[in-house]
Structure 1
Amino acid sequence: MPPESDDTRIRLTGTGPREPREFDLRPDEATRAALAAEFDLSALRKLRFAGQLVPTGRRDWRLEATLGATVVQPCGVTLEPVTTRIDEEILRHFMADWSAPEVAEHEVSEDTDDEPLPAVLDLMAVIAEELSLAIPAFPRAEGVDEVEAEARPTGAEPIRDEDTKPFAGLRDALSRDN
């Protein structure tokens, strides 16, 4: 069983006091190196996660925090190192009576800050989740423009939008017949 509370794990359920809990985490070099490896970063130079957990209602909690990080990753075009500063405001609601919204498979809910209430909140897991969302997907070195690539046989004409519409030819044929 995990500990009741330490620097990174905080018990949210049970008989403990329901009072605001502040935290200020600055993971050590080994932890930053592990996160950098997990997210294919060249380096994770700085990392800070600071904020508070505030009780709301009878059993719910709200997490208000700031995630600050300096990440280094290769440019998506030149492979040169790109350094990015991340400063994100984090807001999450942990709900005791949370239930998954009923949505179709292809729909994604915009209201993503409500989550089920865990017995113990692992702040390192929250750091990892939020950092993974904040890391640039396609970093670019300064002065490097987006690359446009085409894959077609030599001498072939580019595919036009009209060519991808299955009934375009039928429509054209019908309009010529009329």
Structure 2
Amino acid sequence: MNDTPALKFPVSVLHLPQKGITVTIKADERECAALARDHGLEAVKSFEARFQIMPWKKQGVKVQGRIDADIVQACIVTLEPLDARIAEEVETLFVPEHSRLARIRLDESGEMLVDAEGPDMPETFSGDHIDIGAVAEEFFELAIDPYPRKPGLPEQILPPDSMDTEVEKPVSPFAKLADWKKKP
């Protein structure tokens, strides 16, 4: 992913209504081309993100929604183009960078406490805007299959001559010692 996101959609979160606001992002042709280039795809045919942005706790922001995209990837085995569909649910929290909710929890020995099954820590933002386009692009990246395979291919593809030959096991460095121990 590039340092500058292909999608930019800053949203003011200073005075969000209690019900929140709905934001829809539909990528145009230029943005789809930038998404494909930045994420190593053959093409992005369509991209749409729809989010509900609402207040969370006192100063936090909750972003909830869905990303739908049609992409073309290269098969990792045959390099043929493969059509794929992304339908990703998104839910994330943001807090101002000075918020106590943004602090990393440490135990008495200074080790960071992480609950693998628990909720993620909120992301931080500065100022009064959050770039929802960058959020959408981040979750888009996470939804892309890193190893796309053409349907019907066997799991493991070996050269034909490698199946016929027996694999020679390496000789253990202790094999000679075993023979030495047997001698009277």
TM-score computed with the length of structure 2 as normaliser: 0.70
- State whether structure 2 residue 137 is matched by structure 1 residue 133: no
In the alignment, is the contact (CA less than 8 A) between 1:94 and 1:116 conserved in 2? yes
| Correspondence for 1:4 | none
Q: Where in structure 2 are the equivalents of 1:68-147 lying within 5 Å?
A: 68-96=68-96, 97=99, 98-102=102-106, 109=116, 111-112=119-120, 114-119=122-127, 120-147=129-156
Matched positions, count:
155
Instruction: Quote the Cα distance in structure 1 between the aligned partners of 2:121 and 2:65.
Output: 13
| Correspondence for 1:9 | 10
The alpha carbon displacement at 1:136 in A equals: 0.3
* Backbone CA RMSD of aligned residues: 3.4
Q: Secondary structure at the match of 2:85?
A: strand
TM-score computed with the length of structure 1 as normaliser: 0.73
| Correspondence for 1:25 | 25
Q: Which has the larger radius of gyration?
A: 2
Instruction: Quote the Cα distance in structure 1 between the aligned partners of 2:156 and 2:115.
Output: 30
Q: Give, as a single letter, the amino acid of the residue that structure 2 aligns with 1:157.
A: E
1:75–1:101 distance in 2 versus 1, CA, 3 Å: farther
The unaligned stretches of length 5 or more in structure 2 are: 1-7
The alpha carbon displacement at 1:53 in A equals: 0.4
Please list every run of at least 4 consecutive aligned residues from structure 1 whose deviation after the TM superposition is greater than 4 angstroms: 101-105, 107-110
The alpha carbon displacement at 1:17 in A equals: 2.2
The alpha carbon displacement at 1:135 in A equals: 0.4
Identity %: 26
Instruction: Quote the Cα distance in structure 1 between the aligned partners of 2:156 and 2:89.
Output: 31
Instruction: Quote the Cα distance in structure 1 between the aligned partners of 2:115 and 2:150.
Output: 32
In the alignment, is the contact (CA less than 8 A) between 1:77 and 1:147 conserved in 2? no
